[in-house]
Amino acid sequence: MQTLSVSVLEHLSRLPEGTPVSAKELLHLGSRAAVDQTLSRLAQRGQLLRAGRGHYVRPLETRFGLRPPDVDKVVQALAGSKGEVVAAHGAAAANSLGLTPQVPLRLIYLTSGRSRQINLGKQKVELRHAPNWQLALPGRPAGDVIRALAWLGEAHAAEALQTLRQRLPVRVLQEIAGARHLLPTWLAEQVSRWVVNG
């Protein structure tokens, strides 16, 4: 009969990369106290990473050793398990859209849940509560544009919209225009002017 540690690691090895688990999901393997203790021991040994309160993920084995799973996959999975919406921070969105050369130094995500920090090995990831309009169209280019514009602010939004007109497909531009009703007045006005003057 195999040990609980082996059973837990085997269970996690069958899950997609970055999928967090909690003790409650492993009760088919042993008692709550035994599972909690096993998860804690595996984390102390470096065989699991603590990905937030009561959640653990398995590091990936590479030819260079163990590394944390993809941060985006872990954040999305944690948020999904709690029913939260999560999206990239506006600074990261602005950088990916070529609106700023600044590369964010910290990993920050916006969330509909509470603000908190999670650690994945040595990586610290900040989840910041954001208003619903900043979480509009998650996982879509039009949503990234909205978050980038929110981060750039009212003074730079018009210029950014003109730059994006040359770079984005028409369907993305139409999706941004269609989301005006979700935006604060200052941004809805900028987008409306951009649509009319386009």
Which residue segment(s) compose the domain that 55 sits in? Answer: 4-67
Domain shared by 138 and 193, yes or no: yes
Closest CA to 187 of 131, 113, 104, 140: 131
Q: Decide which of 48, 67, 86 is a domain's last residue.
A: 67
Task: Give residue 187's pLDDT band: very low, low, confident or very high (50, 70, 90).
Answer: very high
| Shared domain check, 167 and 100 | yes
Residues 8 and 84 occupy one common structural domain: no
Q: Please give the tally of structural domains in the chain.
A: 2
pLDDT in tens, 70-124: 888 888 888 888 889 999 999 999 999 999 888 878 899 999 999 999 888 778 8
> What is this structure's pTM?
0.81
Are 148 and 160 in contact, with CB atoms under 8 Å apart?
Answer: yes
Burial (CB count <10 Å: 0-12, 13-18, 19+), residue 181:
exposed
Taking residues 173-191, report their average pLDDT.
Answer: 92
> For the chain, how many residues are written?
198
For position 54, which CATH number holds? 1.10.10.10
At residue 197, the pLDDT reads 65
* Final residue belonging to a domain, choices 67, 82, 110: 67
The answer, yes or no, to whether residue 1 has pLDDT greater than 60, is: no
Residue 111 · residue 130 · CB < 8 Å:
yes
Structure tokens at 82: 């709690």
Least Cα distance to 86 among 134, 29, 27, 14 occurs for 134
